[in-house]
Chains A and B, each alone.
Chain A
Amino acid sequence: MISFNTLNLFLVDLLSFLPDKLVFTISGLIMSVAICTFLIGLGSVYTWFERRVIARFQNRSGPNRWGPFGILQPIADAVKLLIKEDIIPATADKMVFIAAPIIFLCTTLLVYAFLPLGIDSQLGNINVALLFVLGITSVNALSVFMAGWASRNKYATLGAIRAVAMLISYEVPMAISLMGIVMVSQSLSLVGIVSAQSNIPFIILQPLGAITFMIAAIAEMSRAPFDMIESESELIGGYITEYAGMKFAVFQLSEFLAPIFTASLFTVLFLGGSNPLKFLEFLPIPGILWFASKSFVITAILLWFRSTWPRLRIDQIMGFAWKVLMPAAILNTLLVGLELVFIRDNYILQIIINMLIFVVFIYLIANILGQKRLKLKEPVPSELANMDA
């Protein structure tokens, strides 16, 4: 059975003529480089996929000139960005300016370090992998701020400050909504979480936590409907105003890798990772294919959201994070804790209670936050000028 561990052992065998420490380092390095290259290639292919699918949503064809079905379009984009002049503003802070896109790309790629891509297929297995993933995604916010600050541009800094405010306020519900999973699976390691879902995936068991995590993750990667960073900051610029050429390409690549890693994370945490579906267990499909297809479905759903919904305003985004998602995450944790104490083994009762509370929660929050304000009123003609009277 092909898995990363067997590949690793094979490489170790191959390199056994070297001293011990070097062997493991080099085999790990080869595997990491292979995965990183694959991911960057996947990111480029994802740009093509996104443009074609969004175009089909809009009744038109996407890029279809270069190569069959336009598959060579990312290469054309990459070449265009490569041959552009790489400008660094004269008063910018050079080190920070150059470091910002690199850190952005690295944090995006590092998430894959401990993700279990199949049965027994992960680059490493530490017992605090979830904490590592959460920590790495917050360094994203830091690199956004570095980009805005180092540009020495008043408007870029303003845009970056607003972006950072949004990013750090969505990390809180993201982290708290994962406490439910940790409590059920009794471990912080991603391999443990995947194996704890061998009976039921957590999305059915904890719908409130899953939806909260999904919304917070969409905001973390600043895609629609939370992409005010790239829009209203059009007016002010946004943190990538001063970037051109290859650095801009690195930012764009990381931004297009974000849905893929969010989808992978969501699959591992809530959909059972590489576990096969219960009723299709007899088919001899390797675990990594299950993982890939589940991630693909989630990526397509994220794309669907992006092409349909308009964006929210910055104060509405912040209000949403603190007034809706935080209570949801805390409520989820409370519920799961109580259920673990009282009805630990009765899964069906847990599912029913969780779903009911989910629906009731949406109803309550909508009414408390002023749902009635959005209802339409009957128009009454004004007395000042009425052509009927």
Chain B
Amino acid sequence: MSLNSELVTINFGPQHPSMHGVFRLRVTLDGETIVDLEPVFGYLHRGTEKLAEERTYVQIVTLTDRLDYVASMSNNLAYVSAVEKLCNIEVPKRASYIRVIVAELQRIASHLMATGFLLNDLGAFGTPLMYCFREREKILDLFEILCGARITLSYMRPGGIFQDTPQEFWNNLELFLESMPNQIDELESLITGNEIVLSRTRDVGILTPEQVIDASLSGPMLRASSVKWDLRKANPYEIYDEIDFDVPIGATGDTFDRYLIRIKEMRESLKIITQCINLIKPGPVRNEDVPLIIRAPEGEAYVGIEGPKGELGFYLVSDGGISPYRCKIRAPSFINLTLLKEMTAGGKIGDLIVNFGSIDIVLGEVDR
């Protein structure tokens, strides 16, 4: 007598308590093991690329805020760098330093959110999440001092940043830099040695370097599979070539390595910010020759930066008018998602949630 079992298809629906936004997964199960996986997204599509064709170059900065709404400075930086490359605009030195400081702060904030939510999915009832958000609140307060808003910042303009930093910002930044290493240590001692976290995340969702390079992944997912590639060192932009920092890589390519890389990158970001504070000099922060409505010469430009989630790129095509002819956004979360099936096939349902949390996607980027 043979057992008759059939495959069950369940729908991990768009509204879900443990999902990172409106994202739908159709999972085919054989008992407890996952056989097939089909992601369905597009629930947050807002037509950013088409809207960008109707707006002038400075107005698009406000559109790019809302792509990866968790790390809005990085989006601004990528777009503004693309416009500067297209129109050959020069950026003053002080603006470059401030851009790097702010981008690294944003990287810390984004990684804190990713770590907090990974542990929330693991079931730790919100305690590590609250500790991560307590630190993120300090960073968002710093951003409020700078530009009056916490999440949708639109701080950068083609030609520099829009207004210089007040003295209050530097004072609070010093306080933040003093207290942050202790908090990261506390977070690590709560999570990294924890046997339950280790047994849930070790050897789960392993990706080999060949798979990762073939699928053109980037960011912590690439570095976790021991591929040493970081755009800040490979193609340096802004002033990253003057600063000294390490690029952490992982050993096996499982979810624990991705989590550990994010913690290490946070420490590296603190080092970068400290060096920038020592190197910065007073000066202009905005290129005064750049008008409010820019008329770009004909041509195209692509700039990719190392955002917190991977390589974020903007490809602008201009036909000589005040709006771009085409603005294509290379969203890292969208491309990192494509390997979800290979990561989870053969695993259990509990592993699916952990894998999904370790990719760290933001639906604003995936759906644009």
Contact = CB atoms under 8 A, between A and B. Distances in A.
Direct contact of A and B (CB under 8 A): yes
Interface of A: 54, 57-60, 154-155, 224-225, 227-228, 231-232, 234-236, 306-316, 373-374, 376-382, 384-388
B200 A313 contact: yes
Interface in B39-87: none
Contact of B226 (A54, A228, A380): A380
Contacts of A60: 130
Interface stretch (B105-113, B316-324, B326-334, B345-353): B345-353
B251 A380 contact: yes
- Highest count of chain B CB atoms <10 Å: which of A154, A232, A307, A314: A232
B226 A308 contact: no
Contact of B202 (A232, A311, A373, A386): A373
Contact of B198 (A58, A235, A374): A374
Contacts of B257: 379
A207 B134 CA distance: 39
B245 interface: no
B10 A236 contact: yes
A316 B202 CA distance: 13
B200 A387 contact: no
Interface residues of B, number: 49
Interface of B: 8, 10, 12, 16-18, 32, 119, 122-127, 130-131, 134, 190, 194-200, 202-203, 209-210, 213, 225-230, 233-234, 248-252, 257, 348-351, 353
Contact of B227 (A225, A231, A378, A384): A384
Contacts of A155: 10
Given A155-B10, A310-B200, A374-B198, 8 more contacts: A58-B127, A224-B124, A306-B125, A310-B119, A313-B350, A315-B32, A379-B250, A386-B228
Contacts of A378: 251
A386 B229 CA distance: 6
Contact of A54 (B125, B195, B196): B125
Contacts of A382: 209, 225-228
Nearest to A233: B349
A225 B194 CA distance: 12
A376 B252 CA distance: 10
A58 B226 contact: no
A386 B233 CA distance: 11
14 contacts: A57-B127, A225-B196, A228-B350, A231-B123, A307-B127, A310-B122, A311-B124, A313-B348, A378-B251, A381-B228, A382-B228, A384-B210, A385-B213, A387-B230
Per DSSP, chain A at the interface is: loop
B227 A385 contact: yes
Contacts of A314: 32, 348, 350
Contact of A388 (B131, B225, B228): B228
A224 B127 CA distance: 13
A232 B349 contact: yes
A308 B18 contact: no
Contacts of A232: 349-350, 353
A202 B17 CA distance: 43
Contacts of A384: 209-210, 213, 227
Nearest to A386: B228
A360 B230 CA distance: 46
Nearest to B354: A313
Contacts of B353: 232
